[in-house]
A and B are shown apart, each in its own frame.
Chain A
Amino acid sequence: MSATRAPEIVTDGFPRRRSRWIEIVTGADHKNIGLVLIGAALGFLFVALVELLLMRLQLAIPENTFLSPVTFNRMLSLYGATGIFLFALPLALGLFYYLVPLQIGARGSALPRVGQLGLWLYLAGATVLYAGLLFTPSEAGVNPLAPLSELAFLPNNGVDAWAAAIGLVTLGFTLLAIDLIATLRNMRAPGMAWRRLPVFSWAGAICSWLLLVIGPVMLAAVTMLLIDRNFDGTFFAGDAGGAPLLWQHLSWIFFTGAYMLVLVAALAAIAEIVPALAGVPLANRNATIASLAAIAVIGTLAWMQNMLTAPIGLGWMYFAMVMALALIVPFGLVAFNLIATLARGGARMRSPLLFAIGSLSAISLGLAAEIQQSMVAAAWQLKNTTDATAATHFALVGGAVFGGFAALHWWFPKMTGRTMGETLARFSFWTMALGALLAFVPLFFAGAENGQVVDAYKFFDGTGVNADNLIASIGAFVLAIGILLTIANAILSRTAGAPAGHDPWHGESLEWFALSPPDPHNFDVLPDVRSARPMHDIREAIAHRTERPAPQPRESQPVA
């Protein structure tokens, strides 16, 4: 882009102002779309919690009859689809979609209507999934393994609703990813070279490319499943020449990729928060970004880690193990650099940093357990026990809930112009941390020591897991209370929070140059970007011009 181009024409005359909610719901502005995605994701987090708590109530005591087996399986299926497709992924994508154009100094996204279609497909998918409640939701579990998900075994339309919903949602995510890639490719501000891109925007690029790879795989899988169920197909039918393992390969490629996407997004958000609140630049920025990219690639290649008990060759099992263990290097480097940044600076322990540290800690617990899960012979014992449940939940709750809440607290002032209440945030964090430990650590023991299996609607007395499950159920309620406190905090702070200026945290990237909340066109003027820390440069330049020392980060609550 040349520096001498004509000023952009932002508006032509004065458009008629519609009421704010119509603007948000119907506008193609990336900020409105991002807000709807984030809001819907938090709403579905609440729904997923309700489903989790119902299941944990059923599993609080042995041989409970609170939920019938069918109801339990329906809750399980809804919980999995809601947690992954309606909460974790749209939360990450919503944050990317809101922030990437701001961070790269763009006045909007490149293909706004494509992004808007993505949002609507997501909302349509969510509606289809929950419309299943009107008749019969899927009973086939979190990942509806064929042939259980075939018509012969689940003849009601629940699985069809699931497959259609997942297809719509995945297509929507893919469109959002296309828009993000086009935006990142074409809309960067003058001087915003790729090497100067903020880590979170880099993660946006990585995750979008990842979605372009794994999204179509899932679309193919659900299309084949729908053909099997409705048009006499035999793709996955075991008794008619089909290959049940084909479904596992296709779906696990997506689920493993989605798992990595959530972790990359969370780690990138943490990598924005930690340097700013520690007051030093991120240690080894380039290595950190390269590690995030490596996680996306290598992690997705480890999809057969989920199939170590299936009839596949030992060589493939070793391939999955090599890929899973290779992840230790990039994850370790990211963690090392984040910790090194924290150690070098002086941490201003504000709520986003608290959640960020909690997120890193929870992810480390989950991934450490995944190491054990990926060692071939060990996996022959541990697969499909609650040990796997606990590992996945630590990594994904750590990434999507703790990491998502860190991002929420961090960017809430930008999105609403107000800061989230600090006291409530701290209270919520410690409740959540306690709840997560209580809810998931006992499952490690129940699974690894006593072999309690996943997804079962009851467990039997005398199998040595009574106490573990009771504690886990109590923990789930504590965790839910903590999560609800943050959701309440967000709702209350929207109107009652302390007003925040455009740059409450002393951030380093360009979103803090825009107003809070940003104008529809994001920026009145675009600065020339000359380093990876444009806001730092701007502060220096202002200080130079006014011959006053650059303002230092404040300890107190920022007030505009």
Chain B
Amino acid sequence: MAPHSPGTDQIDTLLWIGFFAAAIVVVAVNGGLLFALRRRRSDQSPEPASRGRRTQFRVGAVLAAFATAILVLSVIYTDRAREARATGAAGLKSSSSGPLRITATGQQWLWRYSYPNEAFSYYTLVVPVDTDVVLDLVSTDVIHTWSVPNLAEKRDAVPGKVNEVAFRAEDEGTYFGQAATLSGQGYATMRTEVDVVSPDEYEAFVKQRKSEIQAAQDRVTELIESGDVP
């Protein structure tokens, strides 16, 4: 994972913390097993039963401390990840108040993105760099999971519900993602792409999309009115 947003930065740190916690567990259990097997028979010293209970409390306390440490670190970094994505200067002139809200609609097996000015795009999401973006995840059919690992956390789009994913991309570029919940035959091909561009390019993109869509609609209306429908 190569984080390109403040939120995923924090998550990346937490992932490393989790990795070390897991490594400690694996080393402790397997090291203990190896140690127990290597110990020779002559070393055996039957432990008095009274000491057993005290040992048990001590081991339990160590384990509880370990678990609490992981818990506290998880809460801190989860909080930071949530904070990180919600702060910072909005780079857009048009939406100076609040984040840029885009609706991402999951449908078998394509993502549709609707921008605030009623422009929309399929497969590719275009967002401005250094801007808070909130995706409202909805689904028209089954559950889909929106996931672009290097940019944001993954979240489920559940029919009948609105789920939210927020991020702020720090670097321009193209990021790939793939839907992460089995959604039927075309599931493996349900991918998406996020193009992070400068705010000006973003404004130009949605304006152009909007006019293209308008032009297409006008053309359709024209054809219908002229009775020249193919």
Contact = CB atoms under 8 A, between A and B. Distances in A.
A63 B63 CA distance: 45
A145 B25 contact: no
Contacts of A280: 44, 46
A70 B187 CA distance: 11
Contact of B70 (A318, A357, A375): A375
B156 A378 contact: no
Interface stretch (A180-188, A194-202, A322-330): A322-330
Given A333-B60, A343-B36, A453 B179 contact: yes
Given A244-B159, A375-B74, A382-B15, A147 B141 contact: yes
Given A239-B160, A371-B70, A343 B39 contact: yes
Interface stretch (B116-124, B146-154, B209-217, B222-230): B146-154
Contacts of B182: 73, 76, 140-141, 145, 148, 454-456
B162 A70 contact: no
- Secondary structure at the A interface, as helix, strand, loop or mixed, is helix
Interface stretch (A218-226, A361-369, A420-428, A467-475): A361-369
A344 B179 contact: no
A346 interface: yes
Interface residues of A, number: 80
Nearest to A326: B67
Contact of B53 (A238, A284, A372, A385): A284
A317 B164 CA distance: 15
14 contacts: A69-B185, A69-B188, A145-B142, A153-B142, A361-B30, A372-B15, A372-B18, A375-B18, A377-B153, A378-B11, A380-B154, A381-B153, A384-B154, A460-B191
Nearest to A153: B142
Contacts of A332: 59-60, 63, 66
Given A381-B154, A383-B154, A458-B188, 18 more contacts: A280-B44, A284-B55, A287-B52, A287-B53, A311-B155, A311-B158, A328-B25, A332-B63, A339-B35, A344-B47, A357-B33, A361-B33, A376-B75, A380-B81, A383-B145, A454-B180, A455-B181, A457-B188
Contact of A333 (B59, B154, B185): B59
A47 interface: no
Given A244-B159, A311-B163, A73 B185 contact: yes
Contact of B56 (A333, A368, A459): A333
Nearest to B7: A377
A478 interface: no
Contacts of B60: 329, 332-333
Contacts of B141: 147, 152-153
A347 B154 contact: no
Contact of A245 (B18, B19, B29, B161): B161
Given A153-B184, A280-B46, A244 B143 contact: yes
B29 A456 contact: no
B105 to A, nearest CB: 13
B37 A357 contact: yes
A349 B33 CA distance: 13
Contact of A457 (B44, B70, B73, B187): B187
Q: Which of A322, A332, A342, A463 has the most CB of B within 10 A?
A: A332
B41 interface: yes
A326 B49 CA distance: 26
B144 to A, nearest CB: 10
Given A69-B188, A339-B33, A372-B15, A377 B156 contact: no
Contacts of A360: 29, 33
A329 B186 CA distance: 42
A318 B14 CA distance: 15
Contacts of A524: none
A171 to B, nearest CB: 27
Given A244-B143, A384-B154, A377 B10 contact: yes
Contacts of B10: 377
A238 B181 contact: no
B96 interface: no
A372 B36 contact: no
A335 interface: yes
B89 interface: no
A383 B155 CA distance: 9
B80 to A, nearest CB: 8
B70 to A, nearest CB: 6
Contacts of A132: none
Given A344-B44, A365-B26, A377-B10, A385 B74 contact: no
A361 B73 CA distance: 26
A329 B147 contact: no
B11 A342 contact: no
Given A335-B29, A455-B182, A369 B143 contact: no
Q: Top 9 nearest A-B pairs by Cβ distance?
A: A238-B159, A380-B153, A372-B18, A346-B41, A364-B29, A368-B22, A343-B36, A456-B188, A342-B36
Nearest to A361: B30
Contact of B36 (A339, A378, A455, A458): A339
